[in-house]
Amino acid sequence: MTDSILFEKIKEVTQLQGLAGFEGPVRDHLRSKISPLVDRVETDGLGGIFGIREAAEPNAPRIMVAGHMDEVGFMISQIKPDGTFRVVELGGWNPLVVSSQAFTLQLQDGRQIPAISGSLPPHLSRGSNTSGLPAIADIIFDAGFATYDEAWAFGVRPGDILVPKNETILTANGKNVISKAWDNRFGVLMVTELLESLVGQPLPNQLIAGANVQEEVGLRGAHASTTKFNPDIFLAVDCSPAGDIFGEQGKVGGGTLLRFYDPSHILLKNMKDFLLTTAEEAGVTFQYYCAKGGTDAGAAHLKNQGIPSTTIGVCARYIHSHQTLYSMDDFLEAQAFLQAIVKKLDRSTVDLIKQY
């Protein structure tokens, strides 16, 4: 795959709009992409969508590969008398990156209108103590309405959502991309590329590949999907924060991640041995990663008497904001790693991973 083709695929998925609980456009995209590549497509009760490739071998293990469709954004909690809005966050936000940004306000009837987050001009802050961080609930969102009644008459309601608006662009060196929502349209693209690569190739397992909903608000969708499909192995595909420019782990351009710990999940020894062996055999570039946030693996590994899980991912700078920067080469390394893993997970390998 050339860099230009990969960039166009990245642009397509990152410019989709889909917050937690409102993943419809991303789900429609996934359904159209995966339906020709699998035996059937199923959804869970919360809206997660997965393509299933049936196994040819008896007693084949069930392998689940799951991205998540949702990105971070905001939901209107109040319409003020002056026509501005206050919000609740859908996913984690640093208040420092919220002000003076463009958003798409999605109304209940499907219309989309422009909106911005407000900021305090320096002219109005002179002589006052404004050094503290604002609370998300206090940040002003503005779509240009003059009054509550005007906003209401136009169709704005509490519960409507504000999606970050940004253009996906290539950096000058041609290696990196700047966009919104790589967390976790990375996982969406990983799933479609995986299924495309496996067309016509036999697998030693039943493959269940797709994406969950509502990861950004507490790993909710993974509870539903893993209960429904009951996999033997769960592979989350997700994007993590890069700490390279802050003196922390996670280097953009450093390859895929061997994510051995996060606050919700510890990588099992047998799974770690399998991943290291697979990466070495496949010649995959990877970096060790100790995470400070969770992925759907944190929820999945606790379901159905315990499911060995891991996260196959990349890191990106400035995630959970409008402007995320990440490497296309890292995506290719993660995709090669995922393909190698899925092809090796036969019954004996899965039994070895689950042996204690």
| Average pLDDT, 10 consecutive residues per value, the chain (356 residues) | 90 98 98 98 98 93 98 98 98 95 96 93 63 85 98 98 97 97 98 97 97 97 98 98 95 98 96 98 98 96 96 98 98 98 98 94
Give CA–CA dist 98/115, Å, rounded: 13
Give CA–CA dist 206/171, Å, rounded: 39
Strand partners, 259: 289
The helix/strand/coil state of 81 is coil
Give CA–CA dist 222/313, Å, rounded: 17
Rg over CA atoms, the chain: 21
pTM of the complete model: 0.95
Residues 73-164, CATH architecture: Beta Barrel (2.40)
Contact 310, 259 (CB under 8 A): yes
Contact 60, 229 (CB under 8 A): no
Predicted local confidence at residue 2, as pLDDT: 75
Alpha helices, DSSP H only, in 122-261? 122-125, 148-154, 182-197, 220-229
Predicted local confidence at residue 129, as pLDDT: 58
The size of the chain, in residues, is: 356
Sign of the torsion formed by the C-alpha atoms of 251, 257, 263 and 269: negative
Would you state the structure tokens that stand for residue 24, as one six-digit string? 């419809």
Indicate the burial class of 259 (C-beta count within 10 angstroms; 0-12, 13-18, 19 or more). Answer: buried
- Residues marked as catalytic: 215
Would you state the structure tokens that stand for residue 308, as one six-digit string? 């060995």
Domain segments of the chain as ranges: 3-71+180-353, 73-164
Predicted local confidence at residue 123, as pLDDT: 65
Task: For helices 3-14 and 328-344, give the axis angle rounded to 10 degrees.
Answer: 90
Predicted local confidence at residue 124, as pLDDT: 62
**Listed residue (216, 76, 101) closest to 158, CA to CA:** 76
HSE-up (13 A, CA, CB side) for residue 78: 9
Give CA–CA dist 314/287, Å, rounded: 9
Class of domain 3-71+180-353: alpha beta
